[in-house]
Amino acid sequence: MSAPKFDPKELEIVGTVPAQFGMPEMPIYNYPCTMKEAVKAAYRKEPYWMIFGMNMKMMTPAVNPDNLARAFAFEAEKYEPVVDGTVPDMFGIEWEFVPSVGGSMVRPGKPFAEDAWELLEKVQWPNPDEWDWEHSAAVNNPSSYMDPNNYNLIGFLNGWFERLISMMDFENALMALYDEDQKEAIHQFFDKLTDLYINIFGHYIDAYPELDGFSIHDDWGSQKETFFSPALAEEMIVPYMRRLTDYLHSRGKTCELHSCGQNFKQIPNYIKAGWDSWFPQVIVDTQKAFEEYGDQIIIGVDPQIDPTGKTDDEMRALAREFVDKYMQPGKMAFFHYTLDCCTPAFTEELYSYSRKKCSGEL
């Protein structure tokens, strides 16, 4: 289906996306279709307009113990962080909420295991078949988190390397990837971990009929550099990611990678691993990432625009320039969720101009 023709009535603001996670409130226009349809079209690279990351609705349901342990359970039922103790994740690893940073961590210094072979011996594998999927489905279908009009994502914390860190501490986890004596144990652990994740995601898909895709976390870098070489990542992690993304694609779901850090060097691995999209942190040169890889993976591009002292006409011109550069046939970006430049004039022009361009009116 091609993009519908633009109607100026679409610029009527009919609601707002609430401010969240440090991002400002955003307008909801009188769109010509549901957001579900619009984001699906974008993932087909047949966009109706330029999509923001905030145009997708994410749920991290409490049925997954990790979300309670990480104080990151967001669904129809409300959960408050535990501030006077620890909470176990799906493997029984205890996480502690740190109010000053608004998140949870495993207290370092006493890891569950200090090497990968010990990890294999000690680990007790969870059984997601025993989780209360029936209750979660009853609570969340439908809800503001699983509205049929939304493009609905499940956020999933603790990917492969992040899971290893939680169980071994950072230094031990990193060395285990490099250590020839531990690599076989890591392969065995990641292989079974991927089986577990496929099981969990299958339950998600069955429990929530309006689910459209997944945003899966696995941080690979610091502010300055990736944690490990691309060759090592390709050897030790990429095959397991690919098995999971192949499964999700076979079930008709999209796969977004959340991977913090200066991971520009890892983009070829993200592509090999089968990810549909990646929203990097602003420390990454997202514009260069789009130029080099935007035809193979959808990048969330930071506009790098300072609105200070600019007129509305200047901001509208910058919005048109951004659309022309980052919305090309077969090569398109998502608008990055850093929204400092999103003045009302910029946001309106970004929408209306991209709508006209996508519908062939420009």
Residue 154 confidence class, pLDDT cut points 50, 70, 90? very high
Distance CA 255, CA 271 (A): 11
pLDDT in tens, 233-252: 999 999 999 999 999 999 99
Per the model's pLDDT, the better-predicted residue between 102 and 36 turns out to be 36
Range 192-220 average pLDDT: 98
Torsion of CA 219, 111, 198, 237, to 10 degrees: 50
pTM, two decimals, is 0.95
The answer to whether the beta carbons of residues 327 and 354 sit under 8 Å apart is yes
State the CATH class of domain 8-358.
alpha beta
Domain boundaries, the chain: 8-358
Range 122-137 average pLDDT: 98
Q: What is the pLDDT of residue 362?
A: 84
Range 257-261 average pLDDT: 96
Q: Is the pLDDT of residue 291 over 80?
A: yes
pLDDT in tens, 38-81: 999 999 999 999 998 878 999 999 999 999 999 999 999 999 99
Q: What is the pLDDT of residue 53?
A: 80
**Beta carbons within 8 Å of 199's beta carbon, 6+ residues apart:** 128, 129
